[in-house]
Structure 1
Amino acid sequence: MAGANAAPVIIKRKKVIQGGGHHGGAWKVAYADFVTAMMAFFMLMWLLNATTEKQRKGLADYFNPTIPMNRVSGGGDGAFGGDSVFSEQTMTQSGTGAANREPTEEAQARGDSAGGEASEQAQQAEIEKLLSARAGESMTMERALRHVVTRITDEGLVIEIFDLPDVALFEGDSDQPRQVLRDIAGLLADTLALTLNRIAVNGHVRSYPITLIDNPVWDLSAARAQRMRDLVETAGLPSARMQRIVGYADRKPVTPDPMAVRNNRLEVVLLRKDR
């Protein structure tokens, strides 16, 4: 038969592998992460522009909490195992300590009832509370306190008073105070009367163009610091509490632009007891 000699028909079946079937949506996840990051970035930029310096400090403190740590496992019912942070007596659990009559130089106790950093933070909170209470007395005080922020440094508690773009503390490039600074000085004299710390006053000014033949930054910063000292003493603060008056010229700007008016500022420092 003719059909018996016919060539066999061979059928080839190819297995087609669809590329990207498993990871084809990975770009969507990457794009979603990118959009989320951009949204977070723009929210950060908006917050920086829409909040005051004091509000930004509050946000920073919220994300950087101070948590008391206790190295002793004991039966105390408090965060410090039953010991007070202001305790100056030798504690059986806490190791070395100090009595009020025999202070030591150990890190845990110095014979000082101020309580170190905890005391500084408590003092800052109390002063901010007093200033806020006075701000509610009138619109004048409320406007004046827009110029004031507080912070804690190695020197002690710093009360910073600074120029605003629309309201300066002094008349032009002089040391003649405006009424807003007189109001702040009177308020500080009343508030600082509740403390015993010695006080330092630092003067800072913005940078001036280098083309000036006679750059006033040194004389002006020192004169403004002296003027602030005179204002708070006239308002009732004892002169014996003044430890030093310093003019820093334009050497310590607080903004990227050294010529910004925000660098025109005064610092009234409640010095630590070891300063």
Structure 2
Amino acid sequence: MAAQSNAAPIIIKRKKVVGGGGHHGGAWKVAYADFVTAMMAFFMLMWLLNATTEKQRKGIADYFTPTVAINRVSGGGNGSFNGDSTFTDEALPFSGARPAVVARRDTGSEGTDDAETSALKMLESELLGFGGESDVLENEMKHVITKLTDEGLVVELFALPDAPLFDADTGQPTRLLRKLADLLVQTGRSVKNDMAVAAHVQAQPVVAARIKVWDQSTEQAVIMRQLLHDAGLAPGRVQRVTGHADRDPATLDPMDIRNNRIKVIFLR
């Protein structure tokens, strides 16, 4: 009993540990980083507002829009199309190229323009449809491409290495070009549009004694106009005959024979 009374008492001390207490915590660093990021974005926004134009700001806003834009530019009104009709030029879906026909405000002229466009499209379909009538004509149609533009229906007749449009020695039109001229006159009777003729030629070597691309293209355009009249085209229907020399090549190689071509335009 005496030994037990002299034993030292056992004292248990419990320490309460608080995790992340004081300056050892890291939560404030995350909050501070968010604050700095927000301030940086704010100052960048203020800089963009002062350093860009209205058109550039609209482009930036469209870039960061999370949804797919239905129109290329923003309008000034409210609603789904910003005050524009779905059939206006600016509200049409973007396809990489502008429409061939520009919308007009005058309802009377708009109706006339639509009718003319429909007639040119029908002429284009008739012209391209001739290729299925015979094997010979189908081979000739390989030299024809068409394009509907603001100026009108452009019919391009181009040469190939084994089938030129003009004889290299005499400069006279080949049988291929004569048949294509007959085809244009035959199909062109369905419309009353005036026409224009333009000629393009390939570039000549710079070492040539005399560069005559201007004279050559002008002469070929005049010959093509005469071929159209000989095929039965109404007098006075051709309003313009031009030679473009080698200034507007169709391929990357300016000396490619593909650049030898004739354009017949049914004008609006």
- TM-score, scaled to structure 1: 0.57
Do 2:123 and 2:190's aligned partners in 1 also have CA atoms closer than 8 Å? no
Percent same amino acid at aligned positions? 42
Q: State the match for 1:230 in structure 2.
A: 226
Q: Which has the higher helix share?
A: 2
Q: State the match for 1:112 in structure 2.
A: 109
Do 1:120 and 1:152's aligned partners in 2 also have CA atoms closer than 8 Å? no
Report how far residue 229 of structure 1 moved: 0.7
Change (3 A) 1:143 1:244: same
Q: State the match for 2:130 in structure 1.
A: 134
Change (3 A) 1:107 1:177: same
Report how far residue 163 of structure 1 moved: 0.6
Do 1:198 and 1:241's aligned partners in 2 also have CA atoms closer than 8 Å? yes
Secondary structure, in 3 states, of the residue corresponding to 1:269?
A: strand
Q: State the match for 2:190 in structure 1.
A: 194
Confirm or deny that 1:152 pairs with 2:148: yes
Do 1:120 and 1:157's aligned partners in 2 also have CA atoms closer than 8 Å? no
Secondary structure, in 3 states, of the residue corresponding to 2:242?
A: strand
Secondary structure, in 3 states, of the residue corresponding to 2:236?
A: helix
Report how far residue 137 of structure 1 moved: 2.1
Do 2:104 and 2:110's aligned partners in 1 also have CA atoms closer than 8 Å? no
Letter of the structure 2 residue corresponding to residue 107 of structure 1: R
1:237-252 maps to which residues of 2 (within 5 A)? Answer: 237-252=233-248
Do 1:201 and 1:244's aligned partners in 2 also have CA atoms closer than 8 Å? yes
Report how far residue 250 of structure 1 moved: 0.5
CA distance in 2, matches of 1:174, 1:216: 15
Change (3 A) 1:164 1:245: same
CA distance in 1, matches of 2:168, 2:198: 19
Change (3 A) 1:246 1:139: same
Matched residues, number: 173
Change (3 A) 1:200 1:174: farther
Secondary structure, in 3 states, of the residue corresponding to 1:112?
A: helix
Q: State the match for 1:262 in structure 2.
A: 258
Do 2:200 and 2:260's aligned partners in 1 also have CA atoms closer than 8 Å? yes
Secondary structure, in 3 states, of the residue corresponding to 1:176?
A: coil
Letter of the structure 2 residue corresponding to residue 203 of structure 1: A
Larger radius of gyration: 2
Report how far residue 70 of structure 1 moved: 11
Deviations 1:163-222 (A, max 9, x none): 112211111165311111111000000111111111110010000001112112111101
Letter of the structure 2 residue corresponding to residue 158 of structure 1: V
CA distance in 2, matches of 1:120, 1:209: 43
Change (3 A) 1:157 1:119: farther
Do 1:175 and 1:227's aligned partners in 2 also have CA atoms closer than 8 Å? no
RMSD over aligned Cα atoms? 2.5
Change (3 A) 1:176 1:245: same
Q: State the match for 2:179 in structure 1.
A: 183
Letter of the structure 2 residue corresponding to residue 109 of structure 1: D
Do 1:124 and 1:150's aligned partners in 2 also have CA atoms closer than 8 Å? no
CA distance in 1, matches of 2:245, 2:173: 18
Secondary structure, in 3 states, of the residue corresponding to 1:239?
A: coil
- TM-score, scaled to structure 2: 0.58
